[in-house]
Structure 1
Amino acid sequence: MLYTHVSLPHMELLIKRALSVRSATTPRWGPGGVLYYLSDYTGVMQLWRFDGSQHDVVVPWDERVGDFRVASDGAVALASDRDGDEKWRIYIVDGGVYEVSTEGVNNLGAWSPDGKKLAFTSTRDSSTDFYLYIYDRAAGEVKRAAEMPGINVVEEWSEAGIFITHYETNLDSSIYLYRDGELRELTKHGGEALNHSPRYIGNGKVLFLTNADWEYVGVAQMDLATGSWKYLVQLDRDVEHFDVWGAYMLFAVNEEGRSGLYQMHMPSGLTYKLPTPPGVVTHLEYGRGVAAFSLSSINRGHEVYIFQGSVRQVTNSPKFGTPLDKLPEPRSVWYPSFDGRKIHANIYLPPGEPRGAVVYLHGGPESQDRPEFKPLVAALLSAGFTVAAPNYRGSTGFGKTFVHLDDLEKRWDAIRDVEAFAKWLREEGYLQKKPCVLGGSYGGYLTLMALATAPDAWACGVEIVGIFNLVTFLERTAPWRRRYREAEYGSLEKHKDLLLQLSPAAHVEKIQAPLMIIHGANDIRVPVYEAEQLAQRLRELGREVELLVLPDEGHVITKVSNRVKAYSRAVEFIAKHAG
């Protein structure tokens, strides 16, 4: 298909269809082999169940459901926010709907083995700390069990006790065990190490994910009595998910962005790879000899699968006539940056003759562009654009050392990686004209820096929930987030001059290309003030700028109707300037 010959009404329909594609994710087993999962089939992410023959919504719910846990008796605890504000509130659905904790921000945790109590963490008593709480269903009461500083997440409640992961930073965490009123740190370590996702397997043994004394995350086993541990799976790639059933373990490995799903017979160590579709495993659960997982792929969408001898797709979310299967798998490439360092990137090609190109910058920065389903990327491909996505310095998936190559003043190197990528794309023939640069959150910040530091390289920019001024961002972000973001960007007390120097606000006069800004009014991560001051400054400079503020969204566009509205305008903006 030659996109230059497609009529505008037909193009608008292609874009709308791609942005309307629904998703299913996060499968968890319930009693009797019932499979629960999340789906935005209705236009908002809701809780669904599948009993082997029929799919149905568990409970009518107006707002987004972000997480859930199923008790041994079938009661369901769920977390929901309002208008994308990410102030998660916990409820229990058990015949009726009961409030558990609606103050502060709540992280849903785990049921006790008998299903009578629910453990979770919350800022309900501290704006900066997620303390441990336990809800007693019979009494209908919440009691504070332990005061823990910072971000803490209840991972599992087993006969051994309550396992909690405490995050010192986004890249440094430790596992604690709470039992009989006492907290015990299990993974004491020197230096930086991620330790999380504990899974008790009986006989005083727990499995967990860690990159202690190693560049990549693997699966380790600890003896709770002695505290000694060893790696069971240690690779030159990150293990991201795992679960066990009997003598078998399933684990998902990040293989240059795609997921490889493996089954290991733990006593013998024999391991083989499962024949899963290409894509990214986003959740994994193994029980009763049947594995349930969700997998996201640019040309298949985001669906739930089960594995029992063979892989079978369980959900089939509406695609609204979008020919996702016509989208090619992205090319995995490596390009030389300004200093010769090789940087990974994904190149997504449209199914026909390209009409232009977009450089897509992922958020985080402790994240990675992966060949998963992204509605905006699918819409751009459907509209005929090549989408090129670099995994610049600071991205995850390439080891501990790489993720720190953008710390403090080294952030300039990540910015240079983007400029070098645009140059490489031209040299390799991917660009016939200037591309648009687009990114969300940290990718939005990097979009602004790219527009300012290489103004002649870009036809336009689209900045989504991005940072304009690192100082005002740190001052206004949610109180419990500030410490963790300062670990990445620098401290307001120690590095204020550097923060200002690295802010797009200090270089905004250099931005020449037309810019579209999209932001949610309820964003607690990057407050909408960042978008407002950016738009005002560009208007004062006489630049072409469009600002779209979504009143009922936060940091992530959660409602399908808003996704269609905002991203359709973004694609039209790009087509106008770079198509």
Structure 2
Amino acid sequence: MWVDFRVGRAAGVCGVLAFCRGGLLLKYITGRDVGVMELLVRRVLSVRSATAPRLGAGGLVFYLSDVTGVQQLWFFDGSRHDVYAPVEGRVGDYRVSKDGVVAVAVDRDGDERWRLYLLGDDLREVSTEGVNSLGVWSPDGSALAFTSTRDSPSDFHLYVYRRGEGRVERLAELGGINVVEGWSEAGIFVTHYETNLDSTIYLFRGGELRELTKHSGEALNFSPRYVGGGKVLFLTNADWEYVGVAQMDLATGSWKYLVQLDRDVERFDVWGNYLVFSVNEEGRSGLYQMHIPSGLTYKLPAPAGVATHLEYRDGVVLFSLSAVNKGHEVYVYKDGAVRQLTRSPRFGAPLEQIPEPRSVWYPSFDGRKIQANIYAPPGEPRGVVVYLHGGPESQDRPEFKPLVAALVSAGLLVAAPNYRGSTGFGKSFVHLDDVERRWDAVRDVEAFAKWLQGEGIARGRPCVAGGSYGGYLTLMALATAPDLWACGVEMVGIFNLVSFLERTAAWRRRYREAEYGSLDKHRDVLVQLSPATHVDKIRAPLMVVHGANDIRVPVYEAEQLVQRLRELGREAKALILPDEGHVITKVENRVKVYTEVIKFILQHV
């Protein structure tokens, strides 16, 4: 029988900010004061964030923050920070027009069914049917371009909302996932994703679509920025292992790299003759400014961390940055200096005592070297957690992750491998886990746990934990090496690849099949690579966390898993969140659920 577990309301936190400072953290880590431990974990999990800054009319700086407990749109006018206008639900994205009109994308209870509104004295509906991807305003601010599945559950067609008429018009039919990324005198720029690793930029003008980045083989082409004079800059890894910045002449279609490195350029923006871009430097972001005509480039004095947004206008660079021991904050670079604009509440959590992670490389089963991050607590570890990132087209990076920060604050060492299939190490590496080669990623995790033990980093059996694809990999690790693990925590993960592909949102299926295999062509492989096929081998205690509104990995995956484990007589604790989806979006839920997760891990390592 399926039984779920709902965690009660979190207790309030102490208001004395100095209570968990200084040496008390070490006292907490040694486990001599369980009450202090729980309080500190709750404080770390309560840390708020500020991201995605943009300049608005009149010098306002807009950004997203979850200070209220749910992410909302905030502004800073030079003297005060405030909510721009309260919205029921989570604001996931926003755009500000030339004349100051704000468009927002909002979801409810983490369902990721983004609805578009204009934000003012009240919400004016733009598009609320299907799933909507917020695009950009026209240069004069009279129209908003976006893509949506409102007319087709698997296709994001191109639409425009005319403010003066209050109506939506479909401009073009486009199959699959498409994102509006620019609107200028040249037209509307749209990026079409054939897969998560192969994309093409289109230009819509005069009722016609023109493919700008025709290419053979796989290549990412995205983030177009029109710079005038018939020139557009964009990100691409065409004919190269890593993403760089390229320039195209729209008249001829010819292009060349302006920035081409042996690591990925993550994002960029341009103002006049200057280019600002961030580079993935073994996980951390390096921020650079380049004078385009001369190529002269220098590094900006940004704090250590991972850049999560970047905008360059009127000589001002706005960016948000996430760091293990700083949280997510908004910064401005102007006149040669960086200034922090936001200081999100920390609830007394001593984040500054969390050390920067150590980057290591370990040999996997076939001798291939795999990079990993070691997040060590400031004291003798109470145990080890192998933390598996999602994606799999993603990367563990030294950014603020509430669960990882809380685990470290609880005295646990967190070891996070970037197994084959991760991004950040070239596009060849990303494909090393495709379809039947996924077994090699599973073996990477097993080899990492054994390496941790051989190096003396893990003195006993570690716990394995992960979310989404990391949850899938957690289950496979528990099943293929059952004697290696003390416990497991599986969050919004895949139990059965077949039922997952059958039930995931229609617009996602073809993109996930490109990674995992096709239901038509690879069903046998999908079955063999499903944790459902090997679940009887799982012996370690397991906690399962899932949101009932998850459209990426439907909650049916968790239901199957827990039911089967209980039929086998295994220990399986389930936390099902009725008001969340694929990501825990509400701070109070994060505190409740992750506190239970940490208690579970500490009971078993």
Shorter-chain TM-score: what band?
over 0.9
Which amino acid counterpart does residue 419 of structure 2 have in structure 1? Y
Counterpart check, 1:274 vs 2:300 = yes
Residue in 2 that maps onto 1:79:
105
Q: Which runs of 5+ in 1 are unaligned?
A: none
Q: CA deviation at 1:97?
A: 2.1
- Helix, strand or coil: the match of 1:531? helix
Residue in 2 that maps onto 1:416:
443
Structure 1 residue corresponding to 2:36, chosen from 10, 18, 22: 10
Q: CA deviation at 1:56?
A: 0.8
Distance 1:183 1:55 in 2: 42
Q: Deviations over 1:168-217 (max 9, x none)?
A: 00000000000111100000000000000000000000000000000000
Moved segments of 4+, more than 3 Å? none
Counterpart check, 1:567 vs 2:597 = no
- The 5 Å alignment of 1:267-346 reads 267-308=293-334, 309-346=336-373
Structure 1 residue corresponding to 2:203, chosen from 157, 172, 177: 177
* Contact 2:85–2:120 (CA under 8 A) maintained in structure 1: no
Q: CA deviation at 1:477?
A: 0.2
Which amino acid counterpart does residue 521 of structure 1 have in structure 2? A
Distance 1:294 1:539 in 2: 44
Structure 2 residue corresponding to 1:32, chosen from 58, 72, 86: 58
Residue in 2 that maps onto 1:551:
578
Counterpart check, 1:218 vs 2:254 = no
* Contact 2:232–2:248 (CA under 8 A) maintained in structure 1: yes
Q: CA deviation at 1:159?
A: 1.1
Residue in 1 that maps onto 2:391:
364
Structure 2 residue corresponding to 1:235, chosen from 251, 261, 266: 261
Residue in 1 that maps onto 2:22:
none
Distance 2:597 2:65 in 1: 25
Counterpart check, 1:135 vs 2:161 = yes
- Helix, strand or coil: the match of 2:37? helix
Which amino acid counterpart does residue 508 of structure 2 have in structure 1? R
Q: Deviations over 1:211-262 (max 9, x none)?
A: 0000000000000000000000000000011001111110000000000000
- The 5 Å alignment of 1:382-401 reads 382-401=409-428
Which amino acid counterpart does residue 85 of structure 2 have in structure 1? V
* Contact 2:31–2:37 (CA under 8 A) maintained in structure 1: no
Q: Deviations over 1:257-283 (max 9, x none)?
A: 000000101111010111111110000
Q: Deviations over 1:33-86 (max 9, x none)?
A: 211000000000000011111111011112100000000010100000010000
- Helix, strand or coil: the match of 2:470? helix
Q: CA deviation at 1:94?
A: 3.6
Distance 2:268 2:485 in 1: 42
Residue in 1 that maps onto 2:133:
107
Structure 2 residue corresponding to 1:19, chosen from 41, 45, 56: 45
- The 5 Å alignment of 1:67-216 reads 67-216=93-242
Distance 2:458 2:509 in 1: 39
Distance 1:311 1:301 in 2: 17
Distance 2:575 2:355 in 1: 31
Q: Deviations over 1:465-496 (max 9, x none)?
A: 00000000000000000000000000000000
Distance 2:279 2:299 in 1: 10
Residue in 2 that maps onto 1:374:
401
Distance 1:233 1:541 in 2: 56
Which amino acid counterpart does residue 211 of structure 2 have in structure 1? E
Distance 1:447 1:241 in 2: 31
- Helix, strand or coil: the match of 1:457? coil
- Helix, strand or coil: the match of 1:458? coil
Distance 1:503 1:57 in 2: 45
Identity of aligned pairs, percent?
76
Distance 2:142 2:250 in 1: 25
- Stretch moving more, 149-158 or 2-11: 2-11
Distance 1:317 1:230 in 2: 41
Distance 2:120 2:575 in 1: 40
- Helix, strand or coil: the match of 2:432? coil
Which amino acid counterpart does residue 179 of structure 2 have in structure 1? V
Which amino acid counterpart does residue 344 of structure 1 have in structure 2? Q
Residue in 2 that maps onto 1:261:
287
Q: CA deviation at 1:448?
A: 0.1
Q: CA deviation at 1:8?
A: 1.2
- Helix, strand or coil: the match of 2:170? strand
Structure 2 residue corresponding to 1:470, chosen from 480, 497, 506: 497
- Stretch moving more, 280-289 or 92-101: 92-101
Distance 2:200 2:445 in 1: 34
Which amino acid counterpart does residue 571 of structure 2 have in structure 1? E
- The 5 Å alignment of 1:434-449 reads 434-449=461-476
- Helix, strand or coil: the match of 2:450? helix
Q: Deviations over 1:478-524 (max 9, x none)?
A: 00000000000000000001000000000001000000000000000
Residue in 1 that maps onto 2:533:
506
Which amino acid counterpart does residue 147 of structure 1 have in structure 2? E
Q: Deviations over 1:358-383 (max 9, x none)?
A: 00000000000000000000100110
* Contact 2:202–2:209 (CA under 8 A) maintained in structure 1: yes
Structure 1 residue corresponding to 2:566, chosen from 523, 539, 545: 539
Which amino acid counterpart does residue 289 of structure 1 have in structure 2? G
Which amino acid counterpart does residue 61 of structure 2 have in structure 1? L
- Helix, strand or coil: the match of 2:178? strand
Residue in 2 that maps onto 1:492:
519
* Contact 2:193–2:200 (CA under 8 A) maintained in structure 1: yes
Q: CA deviation at 1:96?
A: 3.4
State the Cα RMSD in Å. 0.7
Distance 1:378 1:320 in 2: 14
Counterpart check, 1:527 vs 2:554 = yes
* Contact 2:271–2:314 (CA under 8 A) maintained in structure 1: yes
Q: Aligned residue pairs: how many?
A: 578
Distance 2:527 2:358 in 1: 37
Which amino acid counterpart does residue 234 of structure 2 have in structure 1? F
- Stretch moving more, 516-525 or 28-37: 28-37
Distance 2:122 2:464 in 1: 48
Higher relative contact order (CA 8 A, sep 6+): 2
- Helix, strand or coil: the match of 2:235? strand
* Contact 2:224–2:234 (CA under 8 A) maintained in structure 1: yes
Q: Which runs of 5+ in 2 are unaligned?
A: 1-25
- Helix, strand or coil: the match of 1:389? strand
Residue in 1 that maps onto 2:482:
455
Distance 1:95 1:162 in 2: 29
Structure 2 residue corresponding to 1:65, chosen from 91, 102, 115: 91
Q: CA deviation at 1:95?
A: 4.1
Which amino acid counterpart does residue 250 of structure 2 have in structure 1? L
Which amino acid counterpart does residue 247 of structure 2 have in structure 1? Q
* Contact 2:364–2:370 (CA under 8 A) maintained in structure 1: yes
Residue in 2 that maps onto 1:349:
376
Distance 2:497 2:123 in 1: 41
Distance 2:396 2:122 in 1: 41
